[in-house]
Structure 1
Amino acid sequence: MHNKARDWLARVPVGEGEQRGARALQTLLLLIGVLVPLFWGLRLGIGQAPRGIEWTCLVAHTGMAVLAGISFVCVRLGRFRLGGALFLAGCLVLIPVIYALNGLRGPGPLQVIPVLPLALAGLLFGRRALWATLAFTWGCVLLGAALERIGGTGAGVIWEVAIGLMTGFLVVAVVLDSTLAGLQAHLLEVEERHRELEQARRSLKAEKEEREHTMDQLVHVQKVKAIGQLAGGVAHDFNNILGVILGYAQWRDRHAGMEPLREALAGVEAAARRGAAISRKLLNFSRQDVAHPEVFDLCEALGGLESMLRQLFDPRVRIELALPATNLPVRADRGQLELAVLNVASNARDAMPEGGRFRLAVEAVRDERGRSLVEILLSDTGEGMEEDVRRRIFEPFFTTKSQSSGTGLGLAVVGKVIHEAGGEILVDSTPGAGSCFRLRLPAPVALSDGASPRVLLVDDDDELRSMLARTLERGGCRVLGARDGREAWRVIVRGGVPDVLVTDYRMPGLDGLALIRRLRPLYPDLAMVLISDYLPEAAELARDLPPDVERLPKPISPDLLMQYVFMLTTSPEQACDEGEGG
C-alpha cells in the first residue's frame, strides 16, 4: 500500500529534476489538507466549540487547508512551482494577519504557521528566498510587537517575546540554510557523477558497437581469406567441369539417334549441377548477409567439400571421408556451416606441418535426453592442445599462432555458427595426440505419415508451380495455387487460409515480400516460406523478412520444399513424441 501511494504521488507531469520535490510537497499538502480539518472536526464533534482567540485559529487553519487543497491540485496538473508559490504566498499573507489579531503571544498552534514559509521558500525556491522570507517574518513580528505596545503591553515583555520569536526563526533559517547548502553541494556532486556515468555509458556503447562492427568485418575477412586459399582448387574444378560440358556438347556431331543424345544431355546436366554447386559455395562464403537457415542433406554438402579439403591440406596429409549413403538432413545456414567445417580443417592443417591424417565423418546420434542429433566428427593427428588452451579456443581473437598467421577468429566463427543452429560442440584434445571436434546439430522433424497439410503455392511461372504442386500432392499435401500475390490474397479472403504459404519473391503486382507483410499481422501463426534467388539484394531481403519466415534459394528442390512443409506443420509436441518413440 505504501509503495502504491508513493508511485501515485510520483506520477505527475513534471520535469525529472522536480519529481522528488513534487512528491514531498504533495505529502505536506495532503497532511495539512486532511489532518487540520480532521482535528477541528473531531473537536467540534465532541462539543468543544472554539472560544475567543480560538476562532482565529480555526479561520487560519481553514484557510491553510483550503490553500493546501488548491496547491495540491496544481501540482497534480503539472504546475509544481505554481502550487508551491500559491501555498507559500497564502502562508505569508496569514502571518501578519495572525500577529495583527493576536499579538506576539498567540496560542501555540498558530506559531507553526510562520515556520512553514521558511521551509517552503528554502526547499522550493532556494537560499535567497529563504532569507527574504525570514526578513518578512521578522517584519511581521515587529508589526505584532508595535500593535501590542499600542495596546498597552509593557515594552520589556514585548521585546522579550519578540526577540525570542525572531531568534527561533533565525535558528530555523540557519539550520535550513546549512541543510540546503549541503544538499546543493551533494546534488552538484550527484549531477557531475551522473554526467560522468552517462559519458562512460555512451563511450562503452560506442566501443561495443565498434567492437561488433570490427568483429563482423573480421569474420568477413576470414571468409575472403578462405576463398583466397580455395581459389586455385575452385578454378581447377571449374576447368574440369567446362571440359566435360564441352566434350559432351561435341557429341552432337559424332552420333545420330536419341539414346546417345540422352546420355550426352545427362552428362551436361551433371556437369552443370557441379558447376552450380561450386558457384553457390563461392556466393555462400563471400556474401555479407545475415544467417538464414535451410534444411539440406549434410552428407551431400560435406561431400561437395572434398575437393576443397584436398586443396587445403598438404599432400602429405591423408584425408578420410566417412559419409553414410543415407540422407541426414540438418537445418542450418549451409554456407556458414561449410565455412565452419573448413575453419576447423584449416586449424587441423596448421597442427600437422609435417603431415598426418585428417578424418571427416558424419553419423546420427542421440544425446542424454534422447534427442536425435547429427554429428560431424573432425579429427586430426596433430600437435593437440593443453587443457587451458582448449577451454579458450572459441573466444574471439584468442590464438596461439603468431600475429602474422592467425586472427583468432576461425574457431570463434565455428562456435557462433553451431550455436546459432541450436547445436553444441564437444572438443577432445591431448598434447601430441591430436584433436577431435564433434559438431552436433539437431535433426529436423521427420515427415508425419498421417499429416495432410494445406499449402498455398504462389508463383507466376505456371510450369514451375504445376511441377511443385504435383510433388507436394504426391507427398500428401492439399495444394491451392495462385499466379501472384493479389490472386493469393483473394484465395485467402474467400476462406482458403492454408497451413503453409509458399510464395515466390519476384512477381508482377504484389510480390512475395509484400504479400507476407500484408498477411503476417492478420495470421501471426501462419507458416511461411519465401523462395528467392541469391540476388544482389539478398542481404536486404533477409533483413526485411520477419524472423519466423523461412527462405529457400532457387533453383528449388521439390523434395526439399516438401520437407519444409512437413517440418513447419509438425507441432513441438509431435516432435517430442516422435523423438521419444524413435
Structure 2
Amino acid sequence: MGMPGLQRVTWAPWRRAAAWLRRVPVADPIDRRNAPALQILLIFLGVEIPLNKLYHLLTYEIQMNAAQLAVDIGTDSAMTVAAWSGVLMIRRGLVKPGTAMFITVTMCCALIANLAFGYQLQAFDPYPMLLLTLAALVIGRGALWSVYACIPLMFVLGMGSPWGQPPSGSGSRFQNLPSLALSYLMITLVLDRTVAALREGLARAQHAARRMREEMRERERVQQRLLHMQKIETVGQLTSGISHDFNNILGSIIGHASLRHRIHELDFDAASEAPQLADALEGVEQAAQRGISVTRKLLSFSRQDLLVPVVFDVGHAVQELRPMLRQLLGPGVALEVTVPAQPCTVRLDRSQFELVLLNFAANARDAMPAGGCFSISIQHEGTWTLLELADTGTGMSPDVAARVFEAFYTTKPTGQGTGLGLAVAWEMARDAGGTISVDSTRAVGACFSLRLPQASTDTPAHESR
C-alpha cells in the first residue's frame, strides 16, 4: 500500500526537472521540441568531458609534451565551457545560436587536436557524427554541409600532422582518407534527406492545422450568421401576432385615456371621480408596461450575440416565452404547457433555447393548418430534464423523420423554410451533452423528445430571469 506514495515522491523531482527543461521562451515549435533534449545533451557533455579528462590524467601515464598537454586540456576546457554556455543560451530562447556556437567550438577543437596529435593516434571519435546530427536537426541544411566540409579537413590535418602515423603495413598516411570522406558523405546525405523529409512533413502538418483552425473559425462564423438569420425569420413570423397584441395594448390605452373628457363635463365631480381617473392612469401604465415587455423580448431575442451557456430553469423560461408562443401559434392552435413543481435546471445558451422552442411552435403551426393542439411537457427523468413537444398535425413519413435534423433539409415550399430550425435543435442538444429524437405518425402528429443533462444551480454563470 505504501508503494504508490513512494513512487510519487520518487518521480516528483524528475517531473519538476522535465518541466524546467520545457520552460524555454521559444516561439518556433521545432526549437521548442528540441530544447529539452539539447539541454540534457549539453549538460551531460559539460559534466562528462572534464570528469573524463581528470580520470585519464589520474590513472594513465602522460605521454605528451608540454605543448600537447596544453592543447589537450585547453580543447577539453573550451568544449566544456561551450557546452554550459549553450545551456545558458537555450534557457534564454537562443536554441539555434547556442547549438551553432557549441558546434563551432567543438569543430575548431577537433581540428586543433588532430593537428596536434595526428589522426592515427586518436581513438574512435563520436563527435563528427554528433555534430552532423545536431547541425541537421537543429540548424538546417547549410550547417549540416558546413560541418561535413570541415570533417575531411580534420582528417587531412590529422593525417598530415608530424605526429600522424600511417596504417599498419602501409607507407601512405592518407590511405583511408577517401573511404572516410565517402562514408561521412553518405551519412550526411542520409541525414540531409531524412531531416528534410521530417521538416517538410512538419510544415505540411502545421499548414493543415492552420487551415483546420481557419475552417473551424469560419464554420463558427457561418453558424452564428445562420442562427441569426433563423432568429430574424422567426421574428418575422411573429410580427402579425405582435401587431395584434400592440393593437390591443394601444386600444386599452386609448380607452383609459378617453376618461379625460369627463373633466370638461358639467356634472364632473372631482372628489368622487378622482379614483376612476387614477384607475384609468394605472391601466395606461400597465398597458405601456406590457408593450415595453414585448419590445424588450423581441430586441433581446433578435440580437446577434455569441453563444453563452448559462444555467436556468427550463420551466421558468418556457413560462416567460409563453406569450410569444401564443402569438406565433395563432388563434386556431391551442397551447398546453405542463411544468413540474421542482426546477429543471440546464446549462444552455438561453437565446438559442428560446429559438428552438419558437421553431418547434412554428413547425407545429404549419403542420396544423386546420387547427389543433401544441403541447410542451417538462419533467424530471433521473439526472435528465425531458422536454416533450407534441402536435396533433399531419405528421411525417419515416423517410422524412429520418432526415428531419439535417441542415437545410425542408419539406416546405421554396421561400417558406430554411431547413435550419431542427438542425439548430439537434446541435444545441449535442453541444449540451443531450439527445433529441422524434416519434411521428402520418395524420396523427409528431412528438419531439429533447433530453438535456440537469445542471446544478451552483454552476458558474447562473441566470434566473
Residue 212 of structure 1 corresponds to: 220
Separation in structure 2 between the aligned mates of residue 282 and residue 184 of structure 1, nearest angstrom: 65
Matched to 1:378, the amino acid is: A
Matches within 5 A, 1:436-515: 436-439=447-450
Deviations 1:355-397 (A, max 9, x none): 352322455x33224x7x58564333322353x7656644544
Q: 1:344 to 1:133 in 2, by over 3 A?
A: same
What is the CA distance between 1:8 and its match in structure 2? 6.7
Residue 238 of structure 2 corresponds to: 230
Do 2:43 and 2:83's aligned partners in 1 also have CA atoms closer than 8 Å?
Answer: no
Matched to 2:380, the amino acid is: R
Residue 37 of structure 1 corresponds to: 53
Do 2:394 and 2:445's aligned partners in 1 also have CA atoms closer than 8 Å?
Answer: yes
Matched to 1:281, the amino acid is: K
Separation in structure 2 between the aligned mates of residue 128 and residue 444 of structure 1, nearest angstrom: 64
Matched to 1:435, the amino acid is: A
Cα RMSD (Å): 4.5
Identity %: 27
Matches within 5 A, 1:82-101: 82-99=101-118
Separation in structure 1 between the aligned mates of residue 150 and residue 452 of structure 2, nearest angstrom: 77
Q: Greater shift after overlay, 404-413 or 297-306? A: 297-306
Matches within 5 A, 1:255-270: 256=269, 257-270=273-286
Residue 151 of structure 1 corresponds to: none
Residue 95 of structure 2 corresponds to: none
Q: 1:209 to 1:402 in 2, by over 3 A?
A: farther
What is the CA distance between 1:187 and its match in structure 2? 2.4
Matched to 1:359, the amino acid is: F
Q: TM-score, normalised by structure 2?
A: 0.72
Residue 282 of structure 1 corresponds to: 298
Separation in structure 2 between the aligned mates of residue 10 and residue 413 of structure 1, nearest angstrom: 43
Separation in structure 1 between the aligned mates of residue 456 and residue 16 of structure 2, nearest angstrom: 50
Residue 100 of structure 2 corresponds to: 81
Residue 566 of structure 1 corresponds to: none
Q: Pick from 201, 206, 228 the counterpart of residue 209 of structure 2.
A: 201
Q: Pick from 355, 360, 373 the counterpart of residue 358 of structure 1.
A: 373
Do 1:396 and 1:409's aligned partners in 2 also have CA atoms closer than 8 Å?
Answer: yes
**1:406 corresponds to 2:422:** no
Residue 560 of structure 1 corresponds to: none
Matched to 1:238, the amino acid is: F
Matched to 2:242, the amino acid is: V
Do 1:322 and 1:361's aligned partners in 2 also have CA atoms closer than 8 Å?
Answer: yes
Q: 1:351 to 1:66 in 2, by over 3 A?
A: same
Q: 1:25 to 1:181 in 2, by over 3 A?
A: farther
Residue 561 of structure 1 corresponds to: none
Q: Greater shift after overlay, 29-38 or 167-176? A: 29-38
Residue 341 of structure 1 corresponds to: 357
Deviations 1:417-457 (A, max 9, x none): 6778x7956544133132113456789999xxxxxxxxxxx
Separation in structure 2 between the aligned mates of residue 405 and residue 209 of structure 1, nearest angstrom: 29
Residue 126 of structure 1 corresponds to: 144
Do 1:379 and 1:437's aligned partners in 2 also have CA atoms closer than 8 Å?
Answer: no
Q: Pick from 413, 430, 433 the counterpart of residue 440 of structure 2.
A: 430
What is the CA distance between 1:242 and its match in structure 2? 0.7
Helix, strand or coil for the counterpart of 1:304? helix
What is the CA distance between 1:92 and its match in structure 2? 1.3
Separation in structure 2 between the aligned mates of residue 339 and residue 240 of structure 1, nearest angstrom: 25
**1:368 corresponds to 2:382:** yes
Matched to 2:214, the amino acid is: A
Structure 2 unaligned blocks of 5 or more: 1-10, 90-97, 136-142, 263-267
Separation in structure 2 between the aligned mates of residue 5 and residue 23 of structure 1, nearest angstrom: 11
Separation in structure 2 between the aligned mates of residue 161 and residue 60 of structure 1, nearest angstrom: 29
Deviations 1:252-275 (A, max 9, x none): 323641332244234323322332
Do 1:321 and 1:360's aligned partners in 2 also have CA atoms closer than 8 Å?
Answer: yes
Q: 1:439 to 1:3 in 2, by over 3 A?
A: closer
Helix, strand or coil for the counterpart of 1:77? helix
Q: TM-score, normalised by structure 1?
A: 0.59
Do 1:322 and 1:362's aligned partners in 2 also have CA atoms closer than 8 Å?
Answer: yes
Separation in structure 1 between the aligned mates of residue 147 and residue 453 of structure 2, nearest angstrom: 72
What is the CA distance between 1:324 and its match in structure 2? 7.2
Residue 381 of structure 1 corresponds to: 393
> Which has the bigger relative contact order, CA under 8 A and spacing at least 6?
2
Do 1:321 and 1:361's aligned partners in 2 also have CA atoms closer than 8 Å?
Answer: yes
**1:304 corresponds to 2:316:** no
Helix, strand or coil for the counterpart of 1:435? strand
Structure 1 unaligned blocks of 5 or more: 149-156, 447-524, 528-546, 553-582
Helix, strand or coil for the counterpart of 1:144? coil
Do 1:396 and 1:408's aligned partners in 2 also have CA atoms closer than 8 Å?
Answer: yes
Matched to 1:194, the amino acid is: L
Residue 495 of structure 1 corresponds to: none
Separation in structure 2 between the aligned mates of residue 347 and residue 415 of structure 1, nearest angstrom: 15
**1:271 corresponds to 2:283:** no
Q: Pick from 315, 319, 338 the counterpart of residue 334 of structure 2.
A: 319
Q: Pick from 160, 164, 185 the counterpart of residue 142 of structure 1.
A: 160
Matches within 5 A, 1:41-56: 44=59, 50=61, 52=63
Residue 265 of structure 2 corresponds to: none
Deviations 1:331-363 (A, max 9, x none): 87665544322200222234345x352322455
Do 1:134 and 1:169's aligned partners in 2 also have CA atoms closer than 8 Å?
Answer: yes
Do 2:329 and 2:361's aligned partners in 1 also have CA atoms closer than 8 Å?
Answer: no
Matches within 5 A, 1:151-170: 160-161=169-170, 163=172, 166-170=174-178
What is the CA distance between 1:54 and its match in structure 2? 10
Matched to 1:127, the amino acid is: W
Do 2:360 and 2:389's aligned partners in 1 also have CA atoms closer than 8 Å?
Answer: no
Separation in structure 2 between the aligned mates of residue 68 and residue 301 of structure 1, nearest angstrom: 77
Matched to 2:103, the amino acid is: G
More helix by share: 2
Q: Greater shift after overlay, 216-225 or 63-72? A: 63-72
Matches within 5 A, 1:549-560: none
